[in-house]
Amino acid sequence: MDLSAQYCHFFDDDEFVETDRPGFRRRVITGEQLQLCFWRIKGGATGSFLHKHDDHEQLGVVVRGALDFRIGDDDPTDRVVLGEHQAYLATNGVWHGDSVFVGDDEYDECWILDVFAPPRDDLRNG
CATH number at residue 106: 2.60.120.10
pLDDT grade for 76, boundaries at 50, 70 and 90: low
Distance CA(123)–CA(126), nearest Å, equals 6
In a domain, 20, yes or no: no
Taking the C-alpha atoms of residue 14 and residue 120, their distance in angstroms, rounded to an integer, is 23
* pLDDT number for residue 25: 96
Residue 13 counted as domain residue: no
79 or 82, greater pLDDT: 82
Q: What percentage of the chain has pLDDT greater than the value 90?
A: 75
What pLDDT score was predicted for residue 13? 85
Query: pLDDT tens digit string along 4-25?
Result: 556 777 778 888 999 999 999 9
Give the per-residue pLDDT at 35: 96
Q: Where are any strands of DSSP class E within the chain?
A: 17-18, 24-30, 35-42, 57-64, 66-72, 79-82, 87-90, 95-102, 109-117
pLDDT value of position 3: 52
The answer to whether residue 102 is domain-embedded is yes
The total of other beta-carbon atoms located within 10 Å of residue 87's CB is 12
Global pTM?
A: 0.89
The pLDDT of residue 29 is: 92
Banded model confidence at residue 53, pLDDT cuts 50, 70, 90? very high
List, for residues 99-122, the tens digit of each pLDDT value: 999 999 999 999 999 999 999 999
Question: Has residue 114 been placed in a domain?
Answer: yes
Domain that holds residue 93: 26-123
The answer to whether position 31 is within a domain reads yes
CA distance 94 to 98: 13
Round the average pLDDT of the chain to a whole number and report it. Answer: 90
| Number of folded domains that form the chain | 1
Is residue 103 in a domain?
A: yes
Is the CB of residue 96 less than 8 Å from the CB of residue 52? yes
In 3-state terms, the chain is what percent helix, strand and coil (to 5)?
A: 5, 45, 45
